[in-house]
Structure 1
Amino acid sequence: MLTNSSPVLSDGTKISELIYPETREVQMRVLSDPEIYELEMEKIFGRTWVMLGHESEIPEPNDFIVRDMGSDSVIVARDKNGEIHVTLNVCPHRGMRVALTDCGNATIHKCIYHGWAFRPNGDFIGSPVKRECMHGTILEESELGLKKARSVSYGGLIFATWNIDGPSFDEFLGDAKWYYDMLFLRSDKGMEVLGPPQRFIVNANWKTAGEQSAADGFHTLTLHRWLGEVGNYSKKGPAEEESDEPDLTPEMYGVEVSSPHGHALRCIDLARKIRRLTGLEPDDLTVQQKLDALPPAGMTKDMVAQLSNNLTEDQLKVLTSMPPQVGGMFPNILFGFVYIPQPDGSVVGSMTMHTYIPRGPNKLEFCNWIFAEKDAPEELREKMLKQTIQLFGTSGMVEQDDSDTWPHMTLSAKGAMGRHMTLKYQAVYETGKPEGWPGPGIVNEGFTKDDTQWHWWLYWNELMNAE
């Protein structure tokens, strides 16, 4: 359990005074204040597990990528034995960045300033002119390596933390892992990236995107309303044969999973999609029949047999009824495993993940990975890549909507009056989990509410006030 010791800002305000648990409000000042941002780099990005990339980005020995853990640049490298290491991209001699390119292959990482050299695991090799011992003798050579983070690979995703003695990655995920496993650990060979991630800068505080990623379902109905009006994405009302009016409301119903650690998932009913594809009633179909009718997003019918090798019967029941399709991992991850309708009535899955990397109180870097299963057919991979870019890429139709709102929120939070306004999370579930729901966690069913995002803020508050 974290010990509370609320930091005090320069004007005397305690961080704990910026969030109102009784009315579920957050003061908008948190979206722009430079002091709060600096505390977040230490207390959140310096203490939690942060996603940096995917193993398939560094497939060969000595491959590396350069990524960020909050405001710190890090080197993510695979050594000659295939193990992955995450080290601070700061030379311990005079503070120069060691790796100056985004990616590459190097048996030795050498600082250009004074030539100190390091192995892919961060260990110090030496400095030039060995006989002169220009690194001195005051410290042992074992103390002169790059600072090492604690890292883990989960379904090929690379996570790291500076909190060396803190909770394990599994403890950090908690009950949410049961649901994430259905996405990231479902197949025999796992996923791989379809090229390097897309990246662009948004003039907004990272939390504007982070809190939306905590399964904010309702904004789909309003901000993305065109999904119910345009082309293949158009939806009709519940009585489809009687109404030509587009309606996304049915997509707002389902199951939502919250976490004390701010993770969130939206599990959306597949019944309507299965009815459209088969003309049959889903309740009359077995789990296998539903999988054959509509394989999980990103899989083909031929790949469905792998699911039983990796998932439990209870997970398969959820995967064929109310699968997790959209959600996030605290603090700055959004993922989407969604079904994209095609003109011929079929469905193509999309597998994508965003991180929102802090670049200052008023700036974030949007980083977008697109995935496919390693054994997915080439034709499917091409369709997934094209359609995911069109929807969720840096110029995607959905992301154009989202990335337009975040700068406005950040600007509002800088106003003399606006900074004292509040973000409100007052639409509260009163339902609980569906009868017979097999999964763990804080589970509610019905029309999407604010609970998942509120739990995101509660964990933010816990970390910001912890010693």
Structure 2
Amino acid sequence: MLTNTSTTLRDGTRITDLINPATREVQMRTLSDPELYDLEMERIFCKTWLLLGHESEIPKDGDFVLRDMGSDSVIVARHNADVAVTLNVCPHRGMRVCTADAGNTKIHKCNYHGWAFRPNGDFIGAPVEREMMHGKIMLKEELGLKKARVTLYGGLIFATWDIGGPSFEEFLGDTKWYFDMLFQRSDRGLEVLGPPQRFMVRANWKTAGEQSAADGFHTLTLHRWLGEVGNYAKKDAGTEGSDLSPEMVGVEVSSPHGHALRCIDLARKIVKLTGLNPAELSLDEKLNALPPPGVTKEMVPQLKRNLSEDQLKVMVSMPPQVGGIFPNILFAFVYIPQSDGTVVGLTLIHAYVPRGPDKLEFINWILAERDTPPEMRQKMLEQSIQLFGTSGMVEQDDSDTWPHMTVSAKGAMGRKSTLKYQAMFETGAPEGWPGPGIVNEGFTKDDTQWHWWTYWHELMTKDNI
């Protein structure tokens, strides 16, 4: 029997041996093993900061949505000016207190025995108060819903059960410098463009999670159509029109905590979309020539108020466009060319929520800056739905591979095969690169995903749980 302090599986395999640092290999059984899944719920999803949504989903006092922290249902609620995250388990007899996906209420009432709680989880009381249904052994203050530790970052709601653990800033570490360029760049911040898209995929959550750690190689093959179809086709590239290799050159940022960013050369896009020579443009001229996704020329001054000069230099040269936050988040801030020669920038965040060893829930939030004009917001929404999420062409590619990987990991021989991350950077950061972290330049490699797995390994092999 695997316990929360065990580092050995039932068949005698040590968890530490599932990864080979010398050859940068990971055993396939990690993508299907039920024992590992149970331990992940304790050691990863109870210990790390998890994305639950955006505060614009619950703007009014009493608004709430149901989300999940690993295998635990939680209530994410607005209580006065604060956001609270509480375990959706009644402390009386274990019934789910809330069964609606979203709504507004000043009192969450369990329909089994009627115990009532405020949006922040505080216990109000039980029926037949004079008969003391809740007993006299524990004080009312001790009978509330279990509360998670919460932080808001750019309006994004993150929570953890690790009350005394690292802060969210410590969790992000050096990568926060880059994430601030995406989530802390405007005066009024981001907001959601409607409820998130949600759908189930019959795959282990790590198949999607490790890909979100800035896997660039799969774009060349799985998403080859991006260079062949519609507005994305490279029609001016002759017989090599489908070659996406130039888009794989840039800067990649890794983190000891498994976070990752792919920073892609913006100069090519400026030339193609505007006809201007970036080498002849000042920083301000580059910002106005091709503002970041979701930002208009009128909003550019906000960037200068909220970001440092070094961050702005990266923004106009090698801006972060795709990547992830460990364990299960992908972000995309991408530029999509239009048939009329203009460009629409998309802002999306995915979360891959575990639903069992071979099932995940894909949640896709589409966002825009609060000051983005309505007509641009509509275009962003339409393009996002076409490309990403439930019906998106990109997701149809990705969500087809993950189930195959999960099934392969169940085979008697397949589970003994390995995932390989052996394409390694040997470059380091570009000369004069102003940002912190583990930085490498050149053609995309496997380093970011390997760091994702090494942090998974670190958390899974700790004894001091």
What TM-score bracket applies, with the shorter chain setting the length? Answer: over 0.9
Q: Does 1:267 find its partner at 2:256?
A: no
Q: Distance in 2 between matches of 1:112 and 1:250?
A: 58
Figure out how many residues of one structure are paired with residues of the other and give that number.
460
Two-structure CA RMSD over aligned residues (Å): 1.2
Q: Distance in 1 between matches of 2:274 and 2:238?
A: 20
Alignment-derived partner of residue 60 in structure 2: 60
Alignment-derived partner of residue 254 in structure 1: 250
Instruction: Report sequence identity in percent.
Output: 75
Q: Distance in 1 between matches of 2:167 and 2:19?
A: 28
Q: Residue 311 of structure 2 is aligned with which of 315, 318, 322?
A: 315
Q: Distance in 2 between matches of 1:258 and 1:288?
A: 29
Alignment-derived partner of residue 82 in structure 1: 81
Shift of 1:95: 0.2
The answer (yes or no) to whether the contact 2:364–2:389 under 8 Å persists in 1 is: yes
Matched residue type, 1:253: V
Alignment-derived partner of residue 183 in structure 1: 182
Matched residue type, 1:74: V
1:308-457 aligned within 5 A: 308-457=304-453
Matched residue type, 1:130: E
Shift of 1:7: 1.0
The answer (yes or no) to whether the contact 2:233–2:241 under 8 Å persists in 1 is: no
Q: Distance in 2 between matches of 1:245 and 1:349?
A: 23
Matched residue type, 1:452: T
Q: Distance in 2 between matches of 1:277 and 1:349?
A: 13
1:21-420 aligned within 5 A: 21-79=21-79, 81-235=80-234, 240=236, 245-420=241-416
CA offset digits 1:239-298 (Å, max 9, x no partner): x57666332110000000000000000000010111123322212211100011000011
Q: Distance in 2 between matches of 1:403 and 1:452?
A: 21
Q: Secondary structure at the match of 1:67?
A: strand
Q: Distance in 2 between matches of 1:170 and 1:54?
A: 18
CA offset digits 1:2-24 (Å, max 9, x no partner): xx976111111111010000100
Alignment-derived partner of residue 463 in structure 1: 459
Q: Secondary structure at the match of 1:283?
A: helix
The answer (yes or no) to whether the contact 1:357–1:364 under 8 Å persists in 2 is: yes
Matched residue type, 2:27: Q
Q: Distance in 2 between matches of 1:252 and 1:361?
A: 32
Q: Can you give the 5+ residue segments of structure 1 that lack an aligned partner in the other structure?
A: none
Q: Distance in 2 between matches of 1:31 and 1:358?
A: 12
Shift of 1:224: 0.2
CA offset digits 1:113-144 (Å, max 9, x no partner): 00000011111000001100100001111110
Structure 1 142/241 Cα, relative in aligned 2: closer, same or farther at 3 Å? closer
Q: Distance in 2 between matches of 1:277 and 1:330?
A: 33
The answer (yes or no) to whether the contact 1:5–1:465 under 8 Å persists in 2 is: no
Range with bigger deviation, 242-251 or 139-148:
242-251
The answer (yes or no) to whether the contact 1:186–1:310 under 8 Å persists in 2 is: yes
The answer (yes or no) to whether the contact 2:224–2:242 under 8 Å persists in 1 is: no
CA offset digits 1:55-109 (Å, max 9, x no partner): 0000001101110000000000111x21110000000000000010001111010
CA offset digits 1:332-390 (Å, max 9, x no partner): 00000000000011110000010000000000000000001111111000000000010
Q: Can you give the 5+ residue segments of structure 2 that lack an aligned partner in the other structure?
A: none
Q: Distance in 1 between matches of 2:421 and 2:6?
A: 22
TM-score, structure 1 length as denominator?
Answer: 0.97
Q: Distance in 1 between matches of 2:274 and 2:198?
A: 39
Q: Distance in 1 between matches of 2:389 and 2:352?
A: 13
Structure 1 6/285 Cα, relative in aligned 2: closer, same or farther at 3 Å? farther
Q: Secondary structure at the match of 2:198?
A: strand
Matched residue type, 1:201: M
TM-score, structure 2 length as denominator?
Answer: 0.98
Structure 1 54/241 Cα, relative in aligned 2: closer, same or farther at 3 Å? closer
Shift of 1:395: 1.1
The answer (yes or no) to whether the contact 1:270–1:321 under 8 Å persists in 2 is: yes
Q: Distance in 1 between matches of 2:284 and 2:354?
A: 43
Matched residue type, 1:26: V
Q: Distance in 1 between matches of 2:273 and 2:282?
A: 15
The answer (yes or no) to whether the contact 1:6–1:15 under 8 Å persists in 2 is: no
Q: Secondary structure at the match of 2:67?
A: strand
The answer (yes or no) to whether the contact 2:209–2:329 under 8 Å persists in 1 is: yes
Q: Distance in 2 between matches of 1:253 and 1:138?
A: 64
Matched residue type, 1:43: R
Q: Distance in 2 between matches of 1:246 and 1:225?
A: 7
Shift of 1:235: 2.3
Q: Distance in 2 between matches of 1:241 and 1:418?
A: 40
Structure 1 283/160 Cα, relative in aligned 2: closer, same or farther at 3 Å? same
